[in-house]
Structure formats: C-alpha cells, structure tokens
Amino acid sequence: MKSCCLLKLANERTAVLVLVCGMAITAPAHAGEFAIDEKHHGIRVVAITLPPARDYDVTLLEPRPAVDNLTAAIDHLYAGSPFSAKALEKLKKAGNVTVVYDATFPKEKFAEVTLAAFVYDFFKKEGSRKNFLIVVSRFGVKWPTKELAGIIAHELVGHGIQHLRGQLGRLREIDTECEAELYRAAAYEDLGVDRTTSDMVRFYNEMNTRWCADFRLYLQKRNPRLMKLWDYGRRTLPRLIKLFEEYLGDLQTPGVDGNPISAAKVRLKKQVTELAAKIVRDKRPEDAYELGIRYLLGKGGVAEDGIKAVKLIGWAALNGHADAQGVFGSFYERGTGVRKNLVEAYKWYILAASRGMKGAEKHKRRLARQLSPAQIAEAEKRAKTWQPMPRKSTD
C-alpha cells in the first residue's frame, strides 16, 4: 500500500478538486458534487458524492461515515501529536487546508493500493494564498483511525510543508517521499501505533531501505552517532526531520550533484573549519574535545592524527572538561602521545570521576590494582591540588 503526491489533474472528475481549492468560479453549478462540506479544526473536510453504482474493487464507504473517519483522524493528530498539530497550524496560516474523500480515486487498479494523494496546486495565481489539499482514496478512508492519521500526516503535513517551502516538483522523488514518511512516522510514534503489525513492519522497512536510504547514508557519513536517532520510540523523529532539512540544503550545495556522500563530505569539511575557528575565538574546552575526538578516531571530516588529538583533548582536560580528563588519563595509562605514567593516569581518572564522567570510577578501580598505596596517595594528592589552567589558545 502506498500514498503518493499527485502532480497532475488528469481527468474530468478530478477537476472537481480544482473547484474545491477555490480556483474555479462556478461552484454553485457543481454543488451536487459535494455530499458533505464542513470545517473541522479549521480544516475543510469534503466528501464528493458517490458515483453511480458499478463494480469497484472494494465496497465504497458512504460520505458521512467517511467524513467521520477523517475528522476522527484529524482529532487524533491534534490531541496526540503536538508536532503534527503545530505543522497543520502553520499550513492554515499560509493558505487553505482541505481533505477530500473521493471514492472513485484512484481510477485504475494499481499493483499497489493508493491510500491518499497530495494535489499540487499548479493553478495558484501569483500572490494568492496557497492551497494544501489531499485526496483520500476509497482504500485509505477505511484504515484504522491512528493509521489514517499517519497517512494524513504524510500527505497533508509532509507534502504540505514541502509545498509551503516551494520544493514540490523540484526535489528528487526519493527525498520528497522520505521527508513525508518521517512526518508519518512522527505521528505514529506520538500516537503509540503498534509497530509489530504487518502493515507497520512493511512501512518502516520501506522507509528505511527505500525512501530514506540516501538520508541514512548521509547521516552515517556525517556522524555515525546520529544513527541512534533511528531507534524509534525515543521521540527522535522531530530531530530527524530537522536534520533532513539540513540534508536538503547540503544536497543543493554546488558540486555535490545530489549525492548524499558528497553532501556529507562538504558539510563535514565546513564543520571542521568552523569548529577550529570557534576554538580559537571562544576557547571552549567542549569544542576542543569534540575536534580532538574526531582526530583521534579519524572520523567526522578529518584524517586520523594522534598528535592533534592529544593536543586538543589534553587542552580540554587541562581546562576542566570531564570526558577529556578521562580520555587524557587513558593516554597516560597507555603512553599515547605522552610518556606513560600510571600515577598521572590515576590522577586524571580521579578528576574525571569527580566531574561525573561515566566509566571513570571503573577505570580508577581497574588501575588501582596495578598501583601501590604510595602511588595512589600521590595521585590523590595531585588531584586534590589540581586547578584548571587559564583559558589560553590551544597553540
């Protein structure tokens, strides 16, 4: 099953949607086309009159129960998904928001069942308010309320935001659908939809491996730790959507040719340059530590460089950064970039533990087994008298 972004109005019945958008002037002559036309949360909800009897692939839902299903789904978004509700309010301020039930949509029997579609407003006059209109099919309107809310989030919120930004028709299909699927997943997460059903397993698998494959590749290249945001159930979807906007911006950077790897490399190089400038300007130990870790691991836009790593992490440690102190202690324990000194290592573990570094106490206990009481006493003395160095350049 799928949803889609409808970029063409291809037949005479769908032309009624142009009327619904308010882009035609002969509405009274077509009044019979609308079985129901009402407002709900400021959103226009319309049911088009059922067609003459004929054989359809499913039993058609009557307009009243169909509209009730749609309004119930909208209620769920407003009551249970603040993120989706905020986006809907943004669309309402920018234009006319409409949800249409058309039992004849889609016209043909596709290999995949179409649940809904966003109708791109090609006919908007210059300077007029935008129209955000989706058509829910005879299949989609029968979905359970929470799942239907997700479909509305995909089409109306996801594609609606893209239309608001002027991006529909300009983005690659894979990116258009990935962002909309992220909005759908955000609604499902907020509404507590069971992810173990066959439909949801199929949805998440297709989002991850098909529509968002390039975006995931970009995040992996940019910073592997960002992949943790895909651990659903942790309310991370709004952050992923924000990162997706950055991803789109990076794809438009000259020279990347829509390639997520090239885009990530460009962003990482820019990040390293900006981070180095911040260290010189602001002299913040957290910035020095972040760049030092990148050099230590050879990730995040830089090649592995132990000398730079020890210099930056050591400077952050000397300025009181807890994690840097723990890593600096490991340098002394192993002799990485500095002369091996277990007493100094133990001192830095003491300082890191006192500042709340996770794991520092474990390192202390482990190293203590290799030290004499006199060495432990000396390390504790050094830690007690230690003071952060004045904030000067890392040079």
Question: How far, in Å, CA of 353 to CA of 369, rounded?
Answer: 17
Phi, psi (deg, nearest 5) at residue 105: -95, 130
Asked whether residue 58 is assigned to any structural domain, the reply reads: yes
Identify whether the C-beta of residue 308 lies closer than 8 Å to the C-beta of residue 292.
yes
Asked whether residue 171 is assigned to any structural domain, the reply reads: yes
Whether residues 243 and 298 fall in one domain: no
- pLDDT at residue 14, as a whole number: 41
DSSP assignment of 307-320 equals HHHHHHHHHHHHTT
Asked whether residue 85 is assigned to any structural domain, the reply reads: yes
- pLDDT at residue 260, as a whole number: 65
Residue with tokens 């067609």: 51
Asked whether residue 380 is assigned to any structural domain, the reply reads: yes
Whether residues 37 and 69 fall in one domain: yes
Asked whether residue 79 is assigned to any structural domain, the reply reads: yes
Whether residues 288 and 351 fall in one domain: yes
Q: Given 193, 227, 260, which residue is the final one in a domain?
A: 260
- Residue from 292, 322, 312 nearest 304 by CA: 292
- pLDDT at residue 107, as a whole number: 77
Count of domains in the chain? 2
- Residue from 118, 137, 144 nearest 58 by CA: 137
Whether residues 288 and 256 fall in one domain: no
- pLDDT at residue 233, as a whole number: 59
Enclosing domain of residue 356: 283-385
- pLDDT at residue 311, as a whole number: 93
Whether residues 291 and 352 fall in one domain: yes
Whether residues 200 and 77 fall in one domain: yes
- pLDDT at residue 60, as a whole number: 92
DSSP assignment of 236-284 equals -HHHHHHHHHHHHHHHTSTTSTT-HHHHHHHHHHHHHHHHHHHHHHH--
Q: Given 225, 260, 295, which residue is the final one in a domain?
A: 260
Asked whether residue 9 is assigned to any structural domain, the reply reads: yes
Asked whether residue 345 is assigned to any structural domain, the reply reads: yes
Whether residues 326 and 177 fall in one domain: no
Question: How far, in Å, CA of 3 to CA of 293, rounded?
Answer: 43
Whether residues 320 and 251 fall in one domain: no
Whether residues 318 and 229 fall in one domain: no
Asked whether residue 275 is assigned to any structural domain, the reply reads: no
Q: Given 260, 291, 317, which residue is the final one in a domain?
A: 260
Whether residues 114 and 225 fall in one domain: yes
Per-residue pLDDT of the chain (395 residues; tens, 9 = 90+): 455 554 433 333 444 444 454 433 233 334 458 899 999 999 999 999 998 877 777 889 999 999 999 999 999 999 999 999 999 999 999 999 999 999 988 876 544 578 999 987 654 554 568 899 999 999 999 999 999 999 999 999 999 999 999 988 888 888 999 999 999 999 999 999 998 888 889 899 889 888 898 899 888 888 888 888 887 656 789 999 999 998 888 777 655 555 666 666 666 677 777 778 878 788 889 989 988 988 888 776 778 888 999 999 999 999 999 999 999 999 999 999 999 999 999 999 999 999 988 888 999 999 999 999 999 999 999 999 999 876 665 55
Q: For residue 337, give the CATH number of its domain.
A: 1.25.40.10
- Give the pairing of strands 114-119 and 130-136: antiparallel
Whether residues 337 and 208 fall in one domain: no
Whether residues 332 and 237 fall in one domain: no
- pLDDT at residue 263, as a whole number: 64
